[in-house]
Amino acid sequence: MPNIRIWTLESDIDAKAVECLANKLVRHLELENLSIQTVGPQAVPKRNQRGASPSDILGMAVQNYLKQDDCVIFVIDSDGPMSAHQRRQESNSLINQITRVVENSRFNGKVFLVQAVQELEAWLLIDCLGIFCYFASKVAQYRENCRDRVSANQSFRRLVGSYQKGNTEKIVEAVTGGRGAKEYLIEFSKKILPALNPNKTLRNITREQYRENMSPEIAEYVLIDQQTLKCNNSLRKLGTVLAKFQ
């Protein structure tokens, strides 16, 4: 059974969400006998060798993983074009460290980079109905058959449709720190909550709106099929890399 190691170097929370989505990709693509394991930034070893660069240390960690795993896939956010350009200008930025490891001939065909364009939230946003059901499932009447019940409600269906993008990679921040997929998902959640309960106060909406630590649970509600996968090329790329080890 091929062992796939997915390494999310920016967030341990992302690791949990990506593991869920990767396993859904495996099932959708009918990739049999693939074992998915994820790790987050805590797995990066501390610098303990004199003169070793950050990319050298990362490369040594990858080499250790490949003693037991068939491949290592790095997953990081791409963010907007301005942020990406700035990252590339910094010699020891995370993207440059990873690129050096991926391009190292020792790891040819075994180490890959998949950038979540624009952010991990863009992967979740391929299925706005699933996101709606995450919040709706906290209301007793929607805990079962949520997708059918929400779809049967015209106002809910209209709200979901208004936020569902054909390509979630185009939810782009115009400037560094601008409005991206994360902010878009926060905005969507702030519309969902009062739709489910018109009596909900602004204070409660603010408290219950989307936060990054919700992403692993939301991923459980996201449907991955032929239609939703069309909404994000970078998520499809992850599926393509996984399929190499079938």
The CATH fold of domain 3-120+231-243: Rossmann fold (3.40.50)
Average pLDDT over residues 164-181: 75
The answer to whether residue 182 scores a pLDDT higher than 60 is yes
DSSP label at residue 128: H
- pTM given for the model: 0.91
Average pLDDT over residues 220-224: 98
Q: How many CB atoms lie within 10 A of CB 203?
A: 8
Which is higher by pLDDT, 25 or 79? 25
Minimal CA–CA distance to 146: which of 218, 232, 207, 204? 218
| Domain range summary for the chain, segments of one domain joined by + | 3-120+231-243, 122-222
User: Between vectors from CA 169 to CA 101 and to CA 205, what angle results, nearest 5°?
Assistant: 110
